[in-house]
Structure 1
Amino acid sequence: MDRHPTIDLVVFDMAGTTVNENNVVYKSLQQAINKLGHRYSLEQVLLHGGGKEKLQAVRDIMKDAYPTAADLEANARIAFADFLQLLKEAYAVLEVSTYPGTEELFAFLRANGVKVALNTGYNEQTARSLLEKLHWQEGETFDVLVTADDVENSRPAPDMILVAMERCGISEASKVAKVGDSMVDIAEGKAAGCGLRLGVTTGAQTAAQLRRGLTGCCDRLIT
């Protein structure tokens, strides 16, 4: 494999990678789950839920806490509904920012003919509320947004990257780079066949955790 592939599209994760929202989503997720009587730490929530569609994240975090799949599903849906309400309340007063250099990087890539896509395990409403707070405009700051609402299978399935490729007119996955702050981001990039996968340590998971997924010649860790 070419160790330095030509890249025509970069797919960036949002929270923890390009958007700094102080982990409010995962803190809200932790609070909703623990209201059921659990005592999960934020570290556990980030490890098992980072980057995933949020109902699936709840399932994966609590998967060993219930005796049957039916019990798990019923409690996961209770926690997920509570999470959505907690997040709505948090977002009403939330201040978000981007990481230094992010907007400059987007502008540089787009000025040099490289498409910029954002993808996220959030639903579209949550994602767009973050973008509004940053004053980021689709078609101006970045090219396309793909959320968990746009696909049947969220991360680590490649579906969101494939949708981004289709919307940007990119047919070869080897010319796509995926950037994210969680192991599931890296797994998503591998599943899609991306020519470059980049892990960043600004968000959900640590360098040690990310290195578990960064095993290929086209994988890089940015600290």
Structure 2
Amino acid sequence: MNKRITLVVLDMAGTTVADDGLVERAFEAAARRLGVLPGSPEHVAQLAHVRATMGESKISVFRHLFGDEERARTANAEFEAAYGRLVADGHCAPVPGARAAIERLRAEGRTVVLTTGFARVTQDAILAALGWDDGLADLTLCPADAGGRGRPYPDMVLMALLRTGAADSVDRIAVAGDTSYDMLSGRRAGAGFVAGVTTGAHDADALRAAGATRVLPSVAGLPDALAEFERGAEGGS
């Protein structure tokens, strides 16, 4: 059976974009805004939750941490502003080989969609800082584009399919990310290839436990991994 992958959904921070600890630094600013001081027991517990839920929509994380909607939105606004400042100050770089991998995937006839758990304004700031707002990807999505539900829900992956029409079946979708939530999102969407990369938040064991069908050192190796997957699928027909 021909299992050609025609739609590739890629995470940004930690997968195609080097995170460099920016999420944790921006979280510290958000926590301070709500009176949670670095080093306090409350801050330590909250930071542990942030690390465990890397890849999830940030507003969802703050709803869990701070309870009521107003406090969650205040924290999220401060987080996004702090992350944006860090990006503007130059603390943003592509994972080595990421751009070349995306260009190769598209040259091979695959549609590429970049997704994030950040708000649109932050996603756009990252794309601009990297020079990736030049049409590098076919489409970019944030949770708001998928009705507000980010990872680990399958919504952004399925929205990528609906918006692009790039696959006639979910098993022709590949998902790649650096967190357990990326893996869960891909598996729940029915993606035929779910790759974890170890350039970001979670290690190989965590990625496999969450459903990764392949673990790679970097997204730079994704085009070769997909070609290998397709050759194996054809050989088993």
Q: If the TM-score is normalised by the length of the shorter chain, which range does it land in? A: 0.7 to 0.9
Equivalenced residues, count? 209
- The one-letter code sitting in structure 2 at the alignment partner of 1:144 is L
The structure 2 residue matched to 1:172, chosen from 157, 164, 169, is: 169
Structure 2 counterpart of 1:133 = 129
Q: Return the alpha-carbon distance in structure 1 between the equivalents of residues 45 and 129 of structure 2.
A: 28
Q: Is residue 54 from structure 1 mapped to residue 58 from structure 2 by the alignment?
A: yes
Structure 1 position 163, deviation (Å): 1.4
**Aligned pairs (5 A) from 1:17-166:** 17-33=15-31, 35-37=35-37, 38-40=42-44, 44-60=48-64, 62=65, 71=67, 73=69, 75-137=71-133, 140-152=135-147, 153-166=149-162
- How far does the alpha carbon of each residue in 1:5-36 deviate from its partner, in whole angstroms, 9 at most, with x for none? 32001100000000114131332114423642
AA of the residue aligned to 1:53: S
Match in the other structure for 1:204: 201
- Cα deviation for residue 75 of structure 1 reads 4.1
Task: Compare 72-81 and 164-173 and name the one that shifted more.
Answer: 72-81
Contact 1:36 1:79 in 2 (8 A): no
Write the letter of the residue equivalent to 2:82.
L
Structure 2 residue 186 is matched with structure 1 residue 189: yes
Post-superposition offset of 1:172: 1.0
| Structure 1: gaps of 5 or more residues | 64-70
Contact 1:156 1:184 in 2 (8 A): yes
- What runs of 5+ residues in structure 2 fail to find an aligned partner? 218-237
Q: CA deviation at 1:181?
A: 0.5
> Which residue identity is paired with 1:50?
M
SS in 2 for 1:184: helix
Separation in 2 of the partners of 1:82 and 1:104? 33
The residue aligned with 2:13 is 15
Identity %: 32
Kindly provide the amino acid, as one letter, of the partner of residue 140 in structure 2.
Answer: L
Is contact 1:13–1:185 with CA below 8 Å preserved after alignment?
Answer: yes
SS of 2:122's partner is helix
TM-score if structure 1 supplies the norm length? 0.83
Give the C-alpha shift of residue 72 in structure 1: 5.2
Deviation of residue 147 (structure 1)? 0.9
State the distance in 1 between where 2:186 and 2:139 align: 17
Per-residue deviation at 1:74?
5.1
Find the aligned partners of 2:62 and 2:53 in 1 and give their Cα distance. Answer: 7
Q: Contact (CA 8 Å) 1:17, 1:202: kept in 2 or not?
A: yes
The answer to which of 96-105 and 112-121 deviates more is 96-105
Partner amino acid for 1:220?
R
Equivalent residues of 1:30, 1:42 under 8 A apart: no
